[in-house]
Structure 1
Amino acid sequence: MSITAITADGRGSSVPDPEFRQILADVTAWVEGPGEAWAERIEADGVVPDALWDELVDRGFLALAAPRDLGGRGLSFVQWMGLMEVFSRSHASVRMIVHVVNGTWRAMNPFADDRQREQFVKPAVAGKLTVAFTLTEPGNGTGADITSTVRRDGDMYLLTGRKHLITFGVRCDYWLLFARLAGSIGKEGTVALLVDRETPGVVVEDTSQTMGVHGTDHATLRFEDAPVPVDQRLGEEGEGLAVALGGFLTPSRISVAMSCVGLAQRAQQLAVAYATRRVTFGKPLASRQAIAFQLAENEADIEAAKALTLTAARAWQDGEASAPALSSMAKLTAVDMLTRVTDKALQVHGGIGYWKSMPIERVYRDARAQRFEEGTNEIQKTVIARDLLRRAAALDLEP
């Protein structure tokens, strides 16, 4: 990884520790105060109102991770993970907004020219544009096998294909969309395009009715010869997957891992509070060894996942070759940890934890979504095994 690439990804910046601690205190106060009020409203109404987006923009929460030359706050990646840990204790849709907006610029910026940086990247960092990452398709995976195609017609690409499970795909201003040149195969034919939400030839289906993460919109998209200006292509033809995966996927997986840590901390907080105040047969639940041991196991589980996630974060921040595999290890470990912690936390509550009147019910429901975000556990294992076997082959290890 070159120094230029690291700078473009925002890995070369940080803020002084006193400034970071103040930001952390501000974020924590918001999550525990106004954030909880927003969570109740989202669960009641089923939508994230524009007023919440506006508040997040006004507080600067959507520009924390980007470097200062893009209009961001200039936090290092490890510092940003400290804030993601806190944001993830809030409502899942709040976490989703700050995670996506504070990360999408990483995919765009290294490949943007000066005009694109002014027109798209900086407004996205400022919260003036919402850009939806648009890779996943219904009939195949999310890599070199994408089937959405473009064909050149003068200064336009004509886009045809389908995308689904696109977060913010309904309310966005642009889709950061990945397709391939018609007739091409493999990654060499892929392109990355910024597609205007109002482009003709596009059908948007709102598919936001999910088990958890209420309020976040999701879309299925259909394109039929939809015209996209060639000058809205990021990078060169053949660099589409590099845009999608290079500067975005690795840090995003680490961020999701830290999201699991934060949500698990919230589940543990609720379980400890309930076990302390709930009295059965004259004793608080927390005094019973069976309950205390579950809480102890949760605490150890959370700290172990957090340590691995921070190791991956430092590796990516330093441009180490091990970062992609470590990001998958962190995500795999953290999501499995979250499953165990939320299950025990709900069990501590007993039957009452299953009721929507209890905060743990939402946490338990939202936790399940993390198993899919930025790749399933099976994908993470594939990445880890590929790296492990590649290193073994390089060393020519004998059995």
Structure 2
Amino acid sequence: MTEDEFQELKAEITAWVEGPGEEFAERIEATGVVPPDLFETLRERGYLSLAAPERLGGRGIPFSRYLELMEVFSRSHGSVRMLVHVINGTWRAMEPYATPEQLERIVKPSVAGEVLVAFTLTEATAGTGADIRTTVRREGDTYYMTGEKHLITFGVKCDYWLITARLEGTSGNEGTVEFLMPNSGLPGVEVIDDSDTMGIRGTDHAILRFQDAPVPASARLGEEGQGLEVALGGFLLPSRISVAMSCVGLAERAQQLAVEYALKRETFGKRLAERPVIQQYLAENYADIAAARALVLEAGRAYEEGRPDAAALSSASKMVAVDMIGRVTDKALQVHGGQGYWHRNAIERVYRDARAPRFEEGTNEIQKTVVARHVLTEAVAARAAASTQPTDTQEKAEDRA
């Protein structure tokens, strides 16, 4: 794709978000359901296959440029952003580990928007990492799964769960296993619709309970012991950057609404835009958004280039962007005064949707742990390297010898 073609696509998406996208947003808020024709529209327009490589049937847009498109989609309704974000990302976890049969039957159709795959890691009693408690035991060609997952986006209506478990009797990273488990009425599986959320209305979410649920060995993705490798490196690392950019896009929408209202609303004979306190809010929002956007794009480039600091920058960008969107949407709502609290105004929906990224792909408390680990590891490595370097005195002594 040439730069001109990319800019044409970006302009097309922007026009869709500001036109039909807003109409879909109103329908979703009125009904609480994502209409089937939204999914079909996104699929037919190719918006669900932007980031995947051409060999999988995608458009092959580089990750750092795809982030620019995610920024635009995120100015729309949260459910629109969620569909585009998840479907443009799950292939990264699946492709490196998929068998040829899984590639043709699941991965490529998911890129085409014909099969929906739900990322399934989070548990109510674990921290979505090495402490997961959902277990499997193998008997011949079948694994039997027992445990519970929750907050699973698209977990109700999906075709497959991209699900992480562990072999019975294992702990830590060892023994984790990944599956492409069909959502097809398997015995021992209970799917509970848990979609009544504060924001991102319309997107379905599930609680999943398993009791000796049979999973064919052919559904395993990768080898035993690679479960967290698939989940964390394959999906979460780039997904955190994408969520961070979604914060940027939604913050831009909040700022746009605040500016429009400030230019229109008059109090005591003056427009709000003429009042210094409102100008300060808008200026602070502008700076906040610009700073977060720059860090997100840097994280995207680090991931794209395979740099060793990519994971730390991924978590750092989400930390910064999540805190930023909280500040920006709060000020944008304050600019609207009491009007902003009413459901009829778009800023009310934006304010609710802005809360979800605080827990998507791990809370900020988790992100800080990742970043701190990187900082301390780098510091220890630097000290170790310095201790092995000869001092000036040692070098002079060696020269004299």
Name the structure 1 match of 2:168. 182
Q: Which amino acid aligns with 1:179?
A: A
Establish whether residue 263 from structure 1 lines up as the match of residue 267 from structure 2.
no
CA distance in 2, matches of 1:19, 1:111: 32
CA distance in 1, matches of 2:211, 2:37: 34
Q: How does 1:178-217 map to 2 (within 5 A)?
A: 178-198=164-184, 199-217=186-204
Name the structure 2 match of 1:8. none
Name the structure 2 match of 1:390. 377
Aligned residue pairs total: 384
Q: Which amino acid aligns with 2:132?
A: I
CA distance in 2, matches of 1:368, 1:106: 26
> Considering only CA atoms, is the larger Rg found in Structure 1 or Structure 2?
2
Q: Give 1:102 deviation, angstroms.
A: 0.3
Name the structure 2 match of 1:234. 221
Establish whether residue 294 from structure 1 lines up as the match of residue 281 from structure 2.
yes
CA distance in 2, matches of 1:299, 1:150: 49
Q: Which amino acid aligns with 1:67?
A: P
Q: How does 1:63-142 map to 2 (within 5 A)?
A: 63-142=49-128
Q: Give 1:186 deviation, angstroms.
A: 1.5
Establish whether residue 375 from structure 1 lines up as the match of residue 339 from structure 2.
no
Could you say what secondary structure the match of 1:227 adopts?
strand
CA distance in 1, matches of 2:55, 2:3: 20
Q: Give 1:188 deviation, angstroms.
A: 1.3
Q: Residue deviations 1:241-278, cap 9 Å, x none?
A: 00001121111000000000000000000000000011
Establish whether residue 150 from structure 1 lines up as the match of residue 136 from structure 2.
yes
Q: Give 1:212 deviation, angstroms.
A: 0.8
Q: Which amino acid aligns with 2:106?
A: F
CA distance in 2, matches of 1:188, 1:279: 63
Match of 1:310 among 280, 287, 297: 297
Q: Which amino acid aligns with 1:169?
A: G
CA distance in 1, matches of 2:224, 2:259: 54
Match of 1:362 among 334, 340, 349: 349
Q: Residue deviations 1:85-143, cap 9 Å, x none?
A: 00000000000010000001111011112111111110100111100000011111101
Could you say what secondary structure the match of 1:195 adopts?
strand
Structure 2 unmatched ranges of 5 or more: 387-401
Q: Give 1:180 deviation, angstroms.
A: 0.6
Q: Which amino acid aligns with 2:200?
A: V
Q: Which amino acid aligns with 1:107?
A: A
Q: Which amino acid aligns with 2:72?
A: V
Q: Give 1:200 deviation, angstroms.
A: 2.0
Could you say what secondary structure the match of 1:178 adopts?
strand
> TM-score scaled by structure 1?
0.95
C-alpha RMSD of the superposition: 0.9
Q: How does 1:3-42 map to 2 (within 5 A)?
A: 15-42=1-28
Structure 1 unmatched ranges of 5 or more: 1-14
CA distance in 2, matches of 1:128, 1:378: 36
Percent identity, aligned pairs only? 66
Q: Which amino acid aligns with 1:343?
A: D
Could you say what secondary structure the match of 1:396 adopts?
helix
Q: Give 1:201 deviation, angstroms.
A: 1.5
> TM-score scaled by structure 2?
0.95
Q: Which amino acid aligns with 1:45?
A: T
Q: Which amino acid aligns with 1:28?
A: T
List structure 1 runs of 4+ shifted beyond 2 angstroms.
Answer: none
Q: Residue deviations 1:33-85, cap 9 Å, x none?
A: 00000000000000101111111101110000100000000100011000000
Q: Which amino acid aligns with 2:156?
A: V
Could you say what secondary structure the match of 1:188 adopts?
coil
CA distance in 1, matches of 2:288, 2:143: 49
Establish whether residue 172 from structure 1 lines up as the match of residue 158 from structure 2.
yes
Q: Residue deviations 1:284-314, cap 9 Å, x none?
A: 1101111111101100110000000000000
Q: Give 1:384 deviation, angstroms.
A: 0.7
Name the structure 2 match of 1:54. 40
Match of 2:230 among 236, 240, 243: 243
Q: Which amino acid aligns with 2:40?
A: D
Name the structure 2 match of 1:319. 306
CA distance in 2, matches of 1:288, 1:85: 30
CA distance in 2, matches of 1:46, 1:372: 21
Q: Which amino acid aligns with 1:319?
A: G
